[in-house]
Structure 1
Amino acid sequence: MNLLRRFPRHCRKIFAAGALTLLATTAMPESAQAQIAVFKTASSPWLQDIVLTGLLEGGITANPARPDNGINFGNFLGDHANQAQLNQLSLTLAKPIDPTKSTYQVGFTIQGLYGSDARYYHLLGVSNRAIGDRYQLIPAQAHVDVHAPLLTPGGIDMQAGILQAPMGVEVLDPSARPFYTLAYTSQYSVPFEHLGAMFHWHITKMFDFNFGIDTGNQTTFGGNDNNNAAAGYFGFNVNGLADGKLNIVELSRVGPENGVGAIGPIANTAQRFWNDIAAYYTPTDKLSLTGEFNFLHDNGLHAETWSVVTFAGYKITPSLTFNYRGELYRDSTGLFVVSFLNNQAYMNAFKGGYAPAESAPATTYGALTLGVTYKPDLGHGVRIFALRPEIRFDRSLNGTTPFNDGRNSGVFTFGGDAMIGF
């Protein structure tokens, strides 16, 4: 995310199935979207594998303190306090590839998404100017997928086009994460969307190498790139440790990410360094544990963030899971944790345009979220139905007052979401 010096602190009154889902076998909830074989009776085996999935999700984040500006500070997906909203209505058409097969394969993924979440996942020049209301429309994914049995027995997987960013634990797809709301790390210290290509090289059964190049976080080409430089990823997976119960994913990213319109020509060369490592451990069939460490440094903003996030999930019954998330997040300058106050402000900020926002000084945030996922098997064509109530407490640990329109050092929220897939 590109947060800019143009946001003075007095402006308080006035940013999954992802691009590279092969990066990790996670301990997070499995995706449960229904699959419809679109060309089941076609004579071509390639067409027979094309499937259509759908998901509908809506939620609310209630705030008893009722902030004057109506915004839950530090919360993108549930940013409007005490207001229910349609977060996502998504349809995905896909021809999946199977990386375990030693044959050349070509597939694709096309996903359209409508709802309030779309405000934060645009690409400049593609969809950011289409709708100005709270509910917006994006091409969340549109990429060609290729598996090539080259160089090593496991071969190389490639995705090229519009990609959901692969870095981080929590993803856009709500059925592939444990909570309705996102951690600070997942909002402010990892990218969201790319135009580019990602590669996943299966060097051995235990070790994979990941790399890629793109135009930047949520940018495209020409006048829709906020600087004139590209950016890229590199990292690795270590798979199947501890008798197959532990997987480790490390991913780093480097490249200019700030806008020339915000900080001047230095934006073309000032590098941002993103680093994220996560460990996914499933000691038993009922218990899953995840730990994430993230460090970001931006030469253009002279700013950095670091964070530690821990997750746990315990399956109480086949249809009921208890979820925990704890986070410690440090924003060393106050330039990253920002809440935007109108429906287009987030994307306008990328190019230095009009972007009313609520900010805070340098702050160390602590956040605890508890919840349950109730996911019964309803049958009758309904492949997923889930209710996810949650309670959350956020607090400044260094005495600042970022919450409830600058009144409080802590905030308590509760709410959650419901989803159905068919």
Structure 2
Amino acid sequence: MYKKTGCLALFLVAGCLLLPPEGLAQVAVFGKSDKSGMGEWLSGVTLVGQIEGGIMANPARPDNGINFGNFLADHANQVQLNQLEFTLARAIDPSKNAYQIGFTLEGLYGSDARYYHLLGISDRAISDRYQLIPAQAHIDVHLPWLTSGGLDMQAGILQAPMGVETLDPTTRPFYTLAYTSEYSVPFQHVGAMFKWHVNTTVDVTFGVDTGNQTTFGNSDNNHEAAGYFGFNLNGLAGGKLNIIELSRVGPENAIAVLGARADSQMRYWNDINAAYQVNDKLSVTGEFNYLHDDGIRADTYSFVSFLSYKVTPSLTFNYRGEIYRDNTGQFVVSFLSNTAYMGAIAGATVPAEFAPPTTYGALSLGVTYKPDLGHGVRVFELRPEIRFDRSLNGTTPFNDGRNTGMFTFGMDGVLGF
């Protein structure tokens, strides 16, 4: 039997099969004969939309037109539509000690979709720069088990939980991403994630999935599942400090590349970050990441620091500094066609720009202008950014292999409704 299917099925149905009859009755609100209960559940359903676009200029004008080591703003000196997305959702409230069910459905169109596909679902639908993905499609369940905080489950198409920077531009301070966020954390999964609220301070996270951006059968790059485990420490230091540790283990390389041994060659991902709210205006975050891959005998390790200072209620200054080591030169890659990234996940030979083993330093400075416009506008942001990347060990990965450093500047805008 296909091992991933069996492993995932166990997690996906466990929450439902183990529910007592009264629990099933409470969870299946949509099946109640009480119309007021159905109406109450439906009243919690929301629909929001968001659009983001931007440009990252490069005065060096690389011959291949690519800002090396940059996914979301990879095309130098070109304005692009990054995201047009709509999200239909019914959120659950983990603070309520009761059975609850909700869902999230998010569709996304734009250039960012090139890097967030799932094999066999959306990766072959469009070959242009602007592509379409189901960014999220999952059932959310709260189970009042074990402790007063209970257990939360998400099952379906999930955005990977590891790391500080996410796909949603309103949750991160910059248009571009850190190397860590691009190369050393996964992006999308089909699987199930659980969070057990042990007490007000400690959460335990665990889950299983088919692999990073893979699904089942011929749409998988190997035959084994992968999974997460980790913890959150919430409200330390008088409520100012939160710590998140998450580890992941499983094979991620393609059989097309490594042969049958791809099923047994593990990749170990480890990420820990701490966010500290110094005062009402100043917050700092530090992230440490270490990745090891048995199959390709490669390691990456990095440290990223973030600082945000609220100058006024609508203007925030942002800083990000990173040191990132790609020990073999096999992780930091720029993909030179619109379908190359997902082709590489599948194990195909694709047009790409590599660099030798390099220690990267990157500094980004910017501001977020976020006025409250009202009139149905949920969010409006303008984010100018200046970024400098440099090889710290003398290699020349930037500007089509010409330079040890790369200077870029630009801006994106976000409008949510």
Q: TM-score, normalised by structure 2?
A: 0.91
Separation in structure 2 between the aligned mates of residue 356 and residue 416 of structure 1, nearest angstrom? 28
Matched residue, 1:397 = 392
Listed as ranges, the gaps of 5+ residues in structure 2 are 1-35
User: Structure 1 residue 244 and structure 2 residue 239: aligned?
Assistant: yes
Amino acid at match of 2:138: H
Partner residue of 1:253 out of 248, 254, 257: 248
Contact 1:262–1:351 under 8 Å retained in 2: no
Amino acid at match of 1:279: A
- Deviation, 1:379, is 1.1
Amino acid at match of 1:405: D
Partner residue of 1:116 out of 111, 115, 118: 111
Separation in structure 1 between the aligned mates of residue 234 and residue 414 of structure 2, nearest angstrom? 31
TM-superposition CA deviations, 1:98-154 (whole Å, max 9, x none): 000000000000000000000000000000000000000000000000000001111
Amino acid at match of 1:213: V
Secondary structure of 2:397 counterpart? coil
- Deviation, 1:204, is 1.1
* Larger RCO of the pair (alpha carbons < 8 Å, separation 6+): 1
Separation in structure 2 between the aligned mates of residue 166 and residue 329 of structure 1, nearest angstrom? 20
Matched residue, 1:366 = 361
TM-superposition CA deviations, 1:69-114 (whole Å, max 9, x none): 0000000000000000000000000000000000000000000000
Secondary structure of 1:117 counterpart? helix
Matched residue, 2:15 = none
Matched residue, 2:6 = none
Higher helix share: 2
User: Structure 1 residue 311 and structure 2 residue 315: aligned?
Assistant: no
Distance change >3 Å, CA 71–CA 316, structure 1 → 2: same
Secondary structure of 1:119 counterpart? helix
Amino acid at match of 1:153: S
Contact 1:307–1:329 under 8 Å retained in 2: yes
User: Structure 1 residue 344 and structure 2 residue 370: aligned?
Assistant: no
- Deviation, 1:42, is 9.7
Separation in structure 1 between the aligned mates of residue 107 and residue 349 of structure 2, nearest angstrom? 27
Matched residue, 2:225 = 230
Matches within 5 A, 1:291-330: 291-330=286-325
Amino acid at match of 1:230: A
Amino acid at match of 1:58: G
Secondary structure of 1:264 counterpart? helix
- Deviation, 1:43, is 6.2
TM-superposition CA deviations, 1:214-255 (whole Å, max 9, x none): 000000000111000000000000111000000000000000
User: Structure 1 residue 388 and structure 2 residue 368: aligned?
Assistant: no
Matched residue, 2:213 = 218
**Max Rg structure:** 2
- Deviation, 1:352, is 1.7
Secondary structure of 2:170 counterpart? helix
Matched residue, 1:5 = none
Matches within 5 A, 1:96-245: 96-245=91-240
Secondary structure of 2:129 counterpart? coil
Q: TM-score, normalised by structure 1?
A: 0.90
Contact 1:366–1:394 under 8 Å retained in 2: yes
Contact 1:42–1:48 under 8 Å retained in 2: no
Aligned length: 382
